[in-house]
Amino acid sequence: MPVPRYDPATLRVAAVIPAKDEEDRIAATVRAVRAIPHVDLVLVVDDGSEDDTQHLARRAGAVVVRHSVNRGKASAMETGASVVAMRDAEDLPPRLLLFVDADLGATAVNAAPLVPPVLYGKADMSIAVLPRQQGAGGRGLVTGLARRSIHRATGWAPTQPLSGQRCLTRAAFDAATPLAHGWGVETGMTMDVLQQGFAVVEVPCDLSHRASGSDIAGQLHRAAQYRDVMMAVAARRFRHYKHKIARDAEIEDDGAAPGARSARPDQGASGDGAPRRGSEDGPAERGAAGADRDGAAGDPGGAVAERDVAEADREDASTERDAAEADRD
């Protein structure tokens, strides 16, 4: 169904900060996020920290909920969104969700530009584009895989597909649930939101986070990222493949020719024929304009992941562009 439009004056923003052992930066991050206009709720989801993260976050002014054991970023994001929904007033629109990484520190206030495009209806989700991070040791392999996969599925190639700093409507978030596992959460979210007809924009934000280096720990981190992104992409291609088979079977039952095309939400229309809200910005128009997604059907299960690995290897380590652009690995 079309995304409802609300009076911006009635909209509020909840900042959700997943955190795991971030006692050195969490207080500064919370204080910075509280200074962002329209943010009236800062929620820290302590994902099984073994340090003083929860207490420092609470002292800095955040509402804190805690997982007794580490469940991963996606679970922390879902927990945060659920708590925000419980706190939303029945007589007001649902809060916009602003997801912020816990290690941004004082620079988190610079996530403020993510809010206006969503607040004023220019987009359903905004994604931060960060400057090149000092100490980043990656070569862009994971970024390249995520970018190519999103482009293949939606027609839009994001600059920083792994960026975790995002503002989105409740409807757009719900379209992406259940979230992809682990480090594939951002890639899966972007694919899900775009494929269901929502508009997405990227916004430059002067943010600084703890970058993974080129040591063994950094390499293991990027290997886990690569695995999780592949799994997120494979799961969505398999799901698309199943939906296409079901759609073709339904068309055959109705007496139409197999493979005949029908109007779908991912082509920019709702079930009742009403157009979805789009963005006036170029990237969002390309992303949510309803490009043909049958080409993204792919193969089910592990065959998809294997094919993605082969493609990534053949594409020269994501090309020089991937290595030059800001690396979120």
Among candidate residues 188, 156, 171, 170, the one with its CA nearest the CA of residue 98: 170
The predicted pLDDT at position 136 comes to 56
Residues 6+ apart with CB under 8 A from 208: 104, 105, 107, 130, 131, 133, 134
The predicted pLDDT at position 90 comes to 83
Sheet strand arrangement including 200-204: 63-67, 39-47, 13-19, 96-99, 166-168, 125-129, 200-204
- Contact call for residues 42 and 15 (beta carbons, < 8 A): yes
Residues 6+ apart with CB under 8 A from 326: 129, 130, 131, 132, 133, 159, 160
CA distances from 75 to 54, 87, 176, 261 (A): 17, 19, 13, 36
Residue 288 maps to a domain: no
pTM: 0.73
* Full domain range(s) for residue 19: 10-233
Residue 307 maps to a domain: no
The CATH number for 110's domain is 3.90.550.10
Residue 39 maps to a domain: yes
Residue 240 maps to a domain: no
The predicted pLDDT at position 181 comes to 87
Residue 278 maps to a domain: no
Among candidate residues 204, 189, 217, 225, the one with its CA nearest the CA of residue 328: 225
The predicted pLDDT at position 245 comes to 76
The predicted pLDDT at position 211 comes to 65
The predicted pLDDT at position 42 comes to 99
The predicted pLDDT at position 132 comes to 85
Interatomic CA distance for residues 6 and 292, integer angstroms: 30
Q: Residues in the chain with pLDDT < 70?
A: 1-5, 133-139, 211-215, 218-219, 221, 241-244, 254-329
The predicted pLDDT at position 88 comes to 95
- Contact call for residues 11 and 37 (beta carbons, < 8 A): no
Residue 21 maps to a domain: yes
Residue 144 maps to a domain: yes
Residue 14 maps to a domain: yes
For 28-64, give one letter per residue: b (16+ CB within 10 A) or e: bbbbbbbebebbebbbbbbbbbeeebbebbbebebbb
Domain count, the chain: 1
- Contact call for residues 246 and 297 (beta carbons, < 8 A): no
Angle CA 32–8–100, to nearest 5: 30
The distance in angstroms from the start CA to the end CA of the chain is 35
